[in-house]
Amino acid sequence: MNRLHKFFAVTSFAAALAAPAVAPAQTTDHGATQLFLAPTGRALPKGQGYFKVVGLGMPSWQGGVTDRLSIGLGVPIYGLGQVAVVTPKFQIQRSEKHSTSIGVVSVMTTFGSGSVGYVAHTIELKTGAVHVTVMKPLVDLSEPRAVAMMLGAEHHINSRVTFMTENYIFAFGRPIVSGGIRLKAAHMTWDFGLLVPPTFDYGARPAPMISAGWKF
C-alpha cells in the first residue's frame, strides 16, 4: 500500500507542475475516454458511462461517479466467477486542450491478484487528439525496466467515423503498433482494428481488435 501511495504522489506532483493555470470544465464532446484498449486522459462526466465488449469474451462497464472520478468492472467470460478486473480512474487536471488522469487496472483471480498503475495525458487537436499513457506494474516500483508507454492518436474523418492508432513501446521487449476505425452512432460504437508486431519473431502474428460499446 505504501508503494501505491508513493506512485500516486509522484504522478500527481508531476501532473500538477504541467497543468495549465486555467482549468475550466471539460466538454463532453471531446471524445472517448478509451482507445481500442488503453485509457486516455479524458474523464467520464458524473452519471454517464458505457458498457463495452472486447472481442467475444471481455465485457466491461465504466461509470462516472463524479466529473473526475470513474470506476469500472470487467469479467472475462472464459474466467467467469474466477477473474475480475477493477478499473478506478481519477482525472487530476483538465483544461480546454489538455487533460491528465491516473488510474489502476487491478486483476483479481482465485489464485491471486496484480495491478498496473498508469498516467494518461491527452492533447486535444482541431480534428482529433494525441494520447500518451505510461504504465507500470505496482508489484515493484523500484524496477525501472517494468515500464510501458502507449502513444496513440485519433483523427475524426467525419461525425461518425474516427481513425485511431494505439502503439506500445516497452522498456524490454518489442514494440506493437495498431490502427483502425471507430464507427459511432447515437448510443453505440464499434471498433475495428489490427494489432501488428513489427517483427514476427517467436510466432507472433497480427491480431484483430474488435469491440462494441453502448453509451448511457
- Which CATH number is 2-215 given? 2.40.160.40
Tens of pLDDT, residues 195-215:
888 765 656 678 899 999 999
Alpha carbon 118 to chain centroid, angstroms: 9
Q: Say what the pLDDT of residue 14 is.
A: 41
Per the rule left: phi > 0, alpha: psi between -120 and 50, beta: everything else, 31 is left
Q: What pLDDT, on a 0 to 100 scale, did the predictor assign at position 162?
A: 96
> Burial letters for 116-148: b for 16+ Cβ neighbours within 10 Å, e otherwise?
bbbbbbbebeeebbebbbebbebeebeeeebeb
Out of 5-9, 122-126, 148-152, which region has the weakest mean confidence (pLDDT)?
5-9
The structural domains of the chain, with segments of one domain joined by +, span 2-215
Q: What predicted TM-score, i.e. pTM, was given to this entire model?
A: 0.81
Which residue in this structure is represented by grid cell 472520478? 69
